[in-house]
Chains A and B, each alone.
Chain A
C-alpha cells in the first residue's frame, strides 16, 4: 500500500460520570456504643473539646454515637479500625488521657511516623494519639491547622 497513511487512534478512555468524578470525602464516623452519651463525653474530654458545640468534631470529621446492639460488650477486633487523632502537642494529649484514667495499650512511643500512644475507649476501640514526625509521609501529617 503506497501513499496511504493508516491512522490508529488510541482506545478511548471510558469517561466516568460527572457525578462520581470527585473523590468521596469522609465527613463522619459512627461509633456503636453500649452507652453513647458516656462515649461521646469520653471523646469530648479525651480530645479537649468543649460542650459548646453540640456536634463533636475532630478536624473536619464528626464523631457520631449510636446505641450498640452487638452481643459482645467490647469490640471483638480492636485492630480492625483504629482512629488516629493527630495532635500538635503529644504531652498535652497524654495528660488529658491520664486524667481520664484511660487504659493504655501502648504508652507514648517514638516511631518512624512520630510519637504515638494507644488507649482504649469505653467500648474497647483502639484510639491513637499521634504527633507526626516532621519527615513522615505527607499523608500522615496533620492535614491542616484546625481551629
Chain B
C-alpha cells in the first residue's frame, strides 16, 4: 500500500508570471528558464525534488500574503553560501540572512508575494 505523498504545493497568486519567474531564477538557476511548464495560461508547474510547485493565478487572494508565517517552504540546496550569493545578486529580500545553526546553514527569504521560503544546507 502506498501512503499519500505531498506531490504538489499550490501557491495562489494575483501575479503568476512574476512568481514563476522568481522561483525559476532563485531556485532553479541552472535550468535556463525551463524550470516551469505551462499547465494553463495562468498556472505553471515546476518540480523541486519530490514535489511540484504549482503557481496558480487566482482572484481569491490579495497581492501580498497577509499571514506569511503560517506555511513555510523549506528548500534544500547543495551550497547555501553560493545560493545566498546568487540570491543577493538577484536582489531578493531576506527575512533572516543565511546563518549557521546547529545542523547546518539556514536562511529565510521572502518571495514577491510575501511568502516565506527557507534555504537549508544540512551538515553531512
Contact B70 A87 (CB under 8 A): no
In the complex, how many residue pairs between chain A and chain B have their CB atoms under 8 Å apart? 213
Which A residues lie within 8 Å of B50 (CB)? 25-26, 59-61, 143-144
Give a binary string over A41-56; 1 marks a CB under 8 Å from any B CB, 0 the rest: 0000001110000000
Whether the pair A59, B5 counts as a contact (CB closer than 8 A) is yes
Which residue of A25, A60, A70 has the most chain B CB atoms within 10 A of its CB atom? A25
Range of interface residues on A (Cβ < 8 Å): 35 or more
- 1/0 per residue, CB under 8 A from B, across A133-147: the answer is 000010111111111
Residue of A nearest to B60 (CB): A79
Complex-state Cα separation, A47 to B27, whole angstroms: 29
- The answer to whether B76 and A81 have CB atoms under 8 Å apart is no
Task: Give the residue of B3, B35, B45, B65 whose beta carbon is less than 8 angstroms from that of A140.
Answer: B45
Whole-angstrom distance between the alpha carbons of A20 and B85 in the complex? 9
Distance from B11 Cβ to chain A, minimum over Cβ atoms (Å): 6
The answer to the question of B103 belonging to the interface, with a C-beta cut-off of 8 Å to chain A, is no
Q: Within 8 Å CB of B2, what residues of A? A: 87-88, 145-147
A61 nearest CB neighbor, chain B only: B6
Least Cβ–Cβ distance between B16 and chain A, in angstroms? 13
Q: Is the CB of B75 within 8 A of A24?
A: yes
The answer to whether A23 and B28 have CB atoms under 8 Å apart is yes
With A17-B85, A25-B48 as contacts: A85 and B5 at CB distance below 8 Å: yes
- Judge if A83 is at the interface, Cβ distance under 8 Å: yes
When distances are taken between beta carbons in the complex, the residues of chain B under 8 Å from A23 are 27-28, 30-31, 35, 48-49
A7 and B16 CA atoms in complex are apart in Å by 42
With both chains docked as a complex, state the minimum distance between the C-beta of B53 and any C-beta of chain A, in angstroms: 7
- Cβ contacts under 8 Å, A29 to chain B: 6, 9, 71-74
Contact status A58-B5, CB under 8 Å: yes
Name the contact of B69 in the complex, choosing from A61, A70, A125 (C-beta under 8 A): A70
Cβ contacts under 8 Å, B8 to chain A = 84, 86, 130, 139-140
Which residues of A89-147 have CB atoms within 8 Å of chain B's CB atoms?
93, 123, 125, 128-130, 137, 139-147
Residues of B within 8 A of A (CB): 1-12, 27-31, 35, 37, 39, 45-54, 58, 60-62, 65-67, 69-79, 81-83, 85-86, 113, 115, 118-120
25 residue pairs A–B, Cβ–Cβ below 8 Å: A17-B85, A19-B79, A22-B77, A23-B49, A24-B76, A25-B77, A31-B71, A32-B71, A32-B72, A48-B3, A49-B3, A59-B5, A59-B6, A59-B50, A59-B51, A77-B66, A82-B9, A82-B10, A83-B71, A84-B7, A85-B4, A125-B70, A139-B45, A143-B5, A147-B3
